[in-house]
Amino acid sequence: MITLIDTLYQIIQMALLVALAPLLTGVVRLAKARLTARRGASVFQPYRDLLRLARKEAVVANNASWLFRVTPYMVFTAIWLAAGLVPTFTSALALAPTADLIALVALLGTARFFTALAAMDIGTGFGGLGASREMTIATLAEPAMLMVIFTIAILVHTTSLPQIVDFILVGGVGLRISLAMALVALSMVAIAETGRIPIDNPATHLELTMVHEAMVLEYSGRHLALIEAAGMVRLLLFVSLILCIFIPWGIASPGSGVSLVVLGLVSYPVKLVFSGLLLGAFETSIAKMRVFRYGEFLGGALLLALLAAIFLFVSTGR
């Protein structure tokens, strides 16, 4: 049953996601800059970038079809909607009963599908190259992600994110080997899906190893702003997903008072900033991987998730 207050929380959540996504990216960039002994831009720079791009004129190639124009809106909507399903400050969300983790993966897949189509639409070499690489990564990352979801589903008996959060919050699980392995596997998948080092370098332009940037090379103006914003929201989504499954403390349960919701609203940005610093430190300490090693990296994630599922059967029956 969807109540009015759930709808209100959902609206706050959607607004919060768009408001905080550039901040998270800014924090990661600043952390990386400081760790490499540069001063770095302010954490609010991504907001200014987006604003600047949104004001500029969008240049579209002559042979671009309608698909090329529609894609930025499709991608941003799909990712924004997917992020709206992840509990951030409260698990009482209006959208929660309509979609679970598997639907979330499907939404992300839709966004990726449209990005790849648009990349090939113009017909430049870089677009096709990026699309092919992105799809390779996707075929490797998605089984691992689904395996992680299955592990958690076996453990918690549901694939609905708010129910998972509530179950873990009441202490129904405790420390488990499987959860630790699932955490590592999900982090590896998240790194691949959000295009961070060591899979893809988010700071490159015009390099032969780029993946995501190669696909969106033809975009400009407000289209590019939307694509960039979608990338930031995707990073926020994965960080929030990891936070809400493995560190859910601070998230308000359904039916809790206003003070707990406010606590959730305060603790969520704190957790985000901390994860952003951690991600920045991780990216600084590691080098980008060769394209041919992606299979090993993501295959490792899949096997870890598989191990997590296997270990569930050992720990049952105390």
Partner 1 sequence: MADFYYDTAHLLGALVLLTSFGLLYQRRLFALLNVFATQAFVLAAAAAWQAFIHGEPHLYITALLALSLKAIVIPVALHRIILRLEIPRAVDSALGVGMTMVIGVSLVTLSILLVMGVTSGAAALTREDLASALSVVLLGLLMMITRRNAVSQVIGFMSLENGLILAAIGVEGMPLVVEMSVAFAVMVAFIVFGIFFFHIRERFDTLDLQNLETFRGEREERPWS
Binding residues vs partner 1 (CB under 8 A): 174-177, 180-181, 184, 295-296, 299-300, 303-304, 306-307, 310-311, 313-315, 317-318
Cβ proximity to partner 1: between 97 and 295 the closer is 295
Q: How far is the CB of 32 from partner 1 (least distance, A)?
A: 22
Cβ proximity to partner 1: between 115 and 178 the closer is 178
Cβ proximity to partner 1: between 147 and 232 the closer is 147
Main-chain phi, psi angles of 38, to 5 degrees: -110, 160
Q: How far is the CB of 282 from partner 1 (least distance, A)?
A: 15
Cβ proximity to partner 1: between 138 and 309 the closer is 309
What is the residue whose two structure tokens read 């990073």?
235
Cα gap 292→297, rounded to integer Å? 10
Q: How far is the CB of 242 from partner 1 (least distance, A)?
A: 17
Joined together, the tokens standing for residue 51 give 């604003």
SS3 294: helix
Cβ proximity to partner 1: between 34 and 176 the closer is 176
Which amino acid type is present at position 258? V
Cα torsion 81, 86, 231, 185 to 10°: value is: -140
Q: How far is the CB of 136 from partner 1 (least distance, A)?
A: 14
Cβ proximity to partner 1: between 108 and 305 the closer is 305
Cβ proximity to partner 1: between 54 and 183 the closer is 183
DSSP string for 74-113: HHHHHHHHHHHTS-SSBS--TTGGG--HHHHHHHHHHHHH
Q: How far is CA 167 from CA 8, 152, 270, in A?
A: 23, 11, 23
Q: How far is the CB of 292 from partner 1 (least distance, A)?
A: 11
Joined together, the tokens standing for residue 15 give 């607004």
Cα gap 41→31, rounded to integer Å? 10
Q: How far is the CB of 315 from partner 1 (least distance, A)?
A: 6
Q: How far is the CB of 310 from partner 1 (least distance, A)?
A: 6
The set of residues, in sequence order, having a beta carbon less than 8 Å from that of 51 and lying 6+ positions away, is none
